């Protein structure tokens, strides 16, 4: 029997013919990286290839690594295997990875969403025979509201807090979610302050995307100047001493998990905005259908449930264990996972 083009081993998703890994979780010689979140782009590979807008991002995170950038839809060949990157719409610089050999096409989705968020290049469906997909929110209970409505809620919330003379503290991952929030905050309401981790990442991305002005919070920042303004902070700042500077403040979290009341309460934020950089249930189904794939492999999230449902639709769907952090969610504040939000 002929070997599959992509296989799952202890290091990651492996293409034996090309001797290349996709988003490996252990150090390897050659890695093609879907995007800059920590569980997909790890330290220690000898050589990295990723989308060119992701290059400064992973260099910022991983230091001086041997990385080269590619454009979307640009084909590059390794040992007769054709590779190309395609927009995944997850965060800036995120790609799906297409792999073709002897007429057989596989696509690895990385993380993705279908809605155009105005920062990342929007998702494009890629036809393939086998589709390796995430399904972080692969449950019919997840149904996103258009981001326009969510941002209008966020800005209303900020304005109400400002009127009540309180500082708004909004939590979102420092890569991806923070910039998406930043893009749509209404600066007519007030000023935007940032936690250092978010400011550093945003500085890296600013040359590529137009963002409103932000002010980094430092030791010198006073309560008075923050009052009524909005602070963007990573989830790990919740409950830290750093946040005491904001008193009196109101907190909110922007994440797909906020769809659940239990998650909102566990997170102990005053407000939860349902805003995700992953697909909801319907988006996942739409994406799977658009690929035309007959084989689907689910890597992280509600994999068992989603693949079982795909089987009822007649697809050859199964799950594979990976170290992408699908079941982690916002409650994991100590060890911040940049991957899921």
Positions in the binding site for other proteins (CB under 8 A): 139-143, 259-266, 268, 270-272, 302, 304-305, 308-309, 312, 327-329, 331-332, 334
Nearest C-alpha neighbor of 122 from the set 300, 277, 290, 257? 277
Nearer to other proteins, 65 or 285 (CB): 285
CB 45 within 8 A of CB 38: no
What is the helix, strand, coil percentage profile of the chain, to 5?
A: 25, 25, 50
CB-CB contact of 48 with 69 (8 Å):
no
At its nearest, how many Å lie between other proteins and the CB of residue 311? Answer: 11
Nearest CB to other proteins, comparing residues 75 and 145: 145
Minimum CB distance to other proteins smaller for 45 or for 264? 264
Residue carrying structure tokens 């566990």: 266
CA distance 246 to 170: 12
Minimum distance, C-beta of residue 79 to other proteins, in the bound complex (Å): 34
DSSP 73: T
**Closest listed residue to residue 151, CA positions, set 120, 194, 118:** 118
* Least Å from the CB of residue 331 to other proteins: 6
Question: Which CB sits closer to other proteins, 103 or 146?
Answer: 146
The minimum distance between CB 69 and other proteins, in angstroms, equals 35
DSSP 273: E
Rounded Cα gap, residues 126 and 184, in angstroms: 29
Question: What H or E segment, with its residue span, contains residue 22?
Answer: strand 20-22
CA pair distance 204, 99, nearest whole angstrom: 29
CB of 315 to other proteins, least distance (A): 15
Which H or E run includes 30?
strand 30-32
Least distance CB 114 / other proteins (angstroms): 18
Q: How far is the CB of 107 from other proteins (least distance, A)?
A: 25
Which position has the token pair 């920042």? Answer: 221
Instruction: Choose between 58 and 252: whose C-beta lies nearer to other proteins.
Output: 252
50 vs 136, beta carbon nearer other proteins? 136
Cα distance between residue 323 and residue 341, in whole Å: 16
Polymer length of the chain: 341
Pick 32 or 254: Cβ nearer other proteins: 254
């Amino acid at each position: 029997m002929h070997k599959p083009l992509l296989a799952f081993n202890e290091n990651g998703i492996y293409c034996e013919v090309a001797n290349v890994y996709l988003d490996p979780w252990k150090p390897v010689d050659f890695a093609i990286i879907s995007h800059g979140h920590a569980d997909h782009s790890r330290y220690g590979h000898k050589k990295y290839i990723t989308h060119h807008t992701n290059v400064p991002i992973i260099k910022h995170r991983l230091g001086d690594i041997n990385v080269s950038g590619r454009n979307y839809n640009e084909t590059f060949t390794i040992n007769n295997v054709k590779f190309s990157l395609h927009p995944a719409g997850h965060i800036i610089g995120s790609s799906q990875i297409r792999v073709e050999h002897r007429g057989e096409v596989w696509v690895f989705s990385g993380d993705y969403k279908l809605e155009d968020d105005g920062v990342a290049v929007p998702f494009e469906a890629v036809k393939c025979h086998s589709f390796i997909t995430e399904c972080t929110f692969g449950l019919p209970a997840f149904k996103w509201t258009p981001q326009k409505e969510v941002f209008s809620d966020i800005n209303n919330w900020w304005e109400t807090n400002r009127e009540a003379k309180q500082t708004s503290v909004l939590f979102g991952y420092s890569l991806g979610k923070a910039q998406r929030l930043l893009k749509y905050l209404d600066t007519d309401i007030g000023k935007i302050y940032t936690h250092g981790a978010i400011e550093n990442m945003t500085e890296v991305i600013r040359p590529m995307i137009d963002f409103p002005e932000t002010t980094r919070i430092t030791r010198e920042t006073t309560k008075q100047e923050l009052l009524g303004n909005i602070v963007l902070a990573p989830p790990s700042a919740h409950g830290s001493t750093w946040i005491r500077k904001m008193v009196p403040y109101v907190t909110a979290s922007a994440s797909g998990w906020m769809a659940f009341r239990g998650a909102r309460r566990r997170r102990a934020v005053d407000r939860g905005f349902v805003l995700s950089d992953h697909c909801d249930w319907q988006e996942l189904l739409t994406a799977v259908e658009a690929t035309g794939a007959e084989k689907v492999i689910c890597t992280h999230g509600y994999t068992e449930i989603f693949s079982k449902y795909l089987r009822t639709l007649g697809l050859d769907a199964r799950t594979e264990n990976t170290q992408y952090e699908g079941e982690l969610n916002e409650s994991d504040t100590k060890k911040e996972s940049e991957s899921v939000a």
